[in-house]
Structure 1
């Protein structure tokens, strides 16, 4: 399986975090994969075999070739059905808004086709992306499309971008009232703008940032104990971290790290 990351061109760096591609032959892994919330919205094109999305109620469906995933508040579960060929644009938390003419929170918890987002332009983009013969061409194609959309949509997103950056730098610890004071704007007005542009409240994005930072520390084994990790990441205690972990992954940390007993043994549960 080959995974690659591509930096966006300079004109899109405020909106796009990066692009990524994933390629694997038909004999590659076919297991279900859980995707966790990370505060970003994904625009994904599938030039391989279609993926199947599994729902909590046991149903499943094949995903379209061009799809935009709004913010997710809990995990989603997907599974390849054959050879994998994916190219994705990962937007910064407030990055999608300048390319569309509706509020981003309309898409939270939803996956829409590119036709539902951009109409005939989206259909043409999907066809062009699938027709490309390599990922460098796919990157150029999607970036040219986004630049045209960026020029045609007038939207001032600077207040929200400032808040997102503050949350990222503080690892989710800065408060909405402090950011509102710094921007000289009402707290409720700022929160409404934030939800419209990001698809999540500042408080919920802060929870995701803390969860992701903690997950990275654990997976890199940069910790002494999980209690210290929880405190260092802004959680009140280990129980607080465990509750968020279960909400975002559908698993408790002991289950998640079950293949690594050295990690799992740090968690103590009453149940």
Structure 2
């Protein structure tokens, strides 16, 4: 398994967290992998074999080979049908809205073919360029040229949304919206509307995902061998509340997470 990340061009660094690639040889018997929310929107190109995305215990769809995965608020399972070779762009929560006119809330919990978000001819041409590129750096140059062209002017991120996202990230998701807005609570409804438009989920939902991310990283990095200590450090009310949120976003409890075979990819992405 080969997972790599790459930093974006400075002109895109306020909107894109990173580019990433994943290569996994075909296995004799494919295993389902549970993917858990990470608070980001991603554009991905499947360059290897097809990948199933389960929509129920037994039903599945094949993921589009060039797609945008919107905000996810529930865990889901994928299963590669052979060799995995993926190139993807991980946007900050407020980043992808700067490149499309479609409502971001329409992308939540689903994969959308890029041909449904950009002009079909343009999207198909982009996909072919990515497929024909010889290496990751060439693909990064292609996608950056495409995205920079989409920005008609220098990216201006809505101040109230960016301020809220930055506060949630810097506080590991524990800062309350009341504290962020201080005395100007009249902005709360405006903030909720702008969040839905630019990010796809509410500030509260994003805060929960970010806080859980912090707890998962502590668990993976073995910063504490006590769930109670992790719950305390990430400012959960108690261990029971931590476990409840963990199961809501991952589908299993913290102790199962560390050794579960279908969590390999999620553990890799978080580490």
**TM-score over 0.5 for the pair:** yes
Distance of 1:185 and 1:158 partners within structure 2: 16
CA RMSD of aligned residues (A): 2.1
Distance of 1:95 and 1:89 partners within structure 2: 11
Alpha carbons of structure 1 residues 250 and 19: separation in structure 2 relative to 1, 3 Å: same
Distance of 2:12 and 2:183 partners within structure 1: 26
Distance of 1:241 and 1:136 partners within structure 2: 40
How big is each residue's C-alpha offset from its partner over 1:34-86, in whole Å with a ceiling of 9 and x where there is no partner?
A: 11101001100011111111122420121121011010001111111111110
Alpha-carbon offset, residue 2 of structure 1: 1.2
User: Contact conserved, 1:97 with 1:197, CA < 8 A, in 2?
Assistant: yes
Paired position in structure 1 for 2:227: 226
Distance of 1:217 and 1:201 partners within structure 2: 25
Distance of 1:103 and 1:150 partners within structure 2: 17
Paired position in structure 2 for 1:136: 137
Secondary structure at the counterpart of residue 151 of structure 2: helix
Q: Provide TM-score, normalisation by structure 1.
A: 0.89
Any runs of at least 4 consecutive aligned residues in structure 1 with deviations exceeding 4 A, and if so which? 152-156, 182-185
Higher relative contact order (CA 8 A, sep 6+): 2
Does 2:167 correspond to 1:166?
yes
Secondary structure at the counterpart of residue 43 of structure 2: strand
Paired position in structure 1 for 2:188: 187
Distance of 1:252 and 1:27 partners within structure 2: 27
Greater CA deviation, 90-99 or 153-162? 153-162
Equivalent residues, number:
260
Distance of 2:179 and 2:150 partners within structure 1: 33
Does 2:242 correspond to 1:241?
yes
Alpha carbons of structure 1 residues 129 and 28: separation in structure 2 relative to 1, 3 Å: farther
Distance of 1:45 and 1:139 partners within structure 2: 12
Secondary structure at the counterpart of residue 245 of structure 2: helix
Alpha-carbon offset, residue 118 of structure 1: 0.7
Distance of 1:56 and 1:252 partners within structure 2: 20
Distance of 1:236 and 1:94 partners within structure 2: 28
Q: 1:1-271, aligned counterparts within 5 Å?
A: 1-27=1-27, 30-120=30-120, 121-151=122-152, 156-181=157-182, 186-258=187-259
Distance of 1:231 and 1:183 partners within structure 2: 29
User: Contact conserved, 1:28 with 1:83, CA < 8 A, in 2?
Assistant: no
Secondary structure at the counterpart of residue 151 of structure 1: coil
Alpha-carbon offset, residue 24 of structure 1: 2.5
Greater CA deviation, 22-31 or 73-82? 22-31
Alpha-carbon offset, residue 256 of structure 1: 2.2
Identify unmatched segments of 5+ residues in structure 2.
262-271
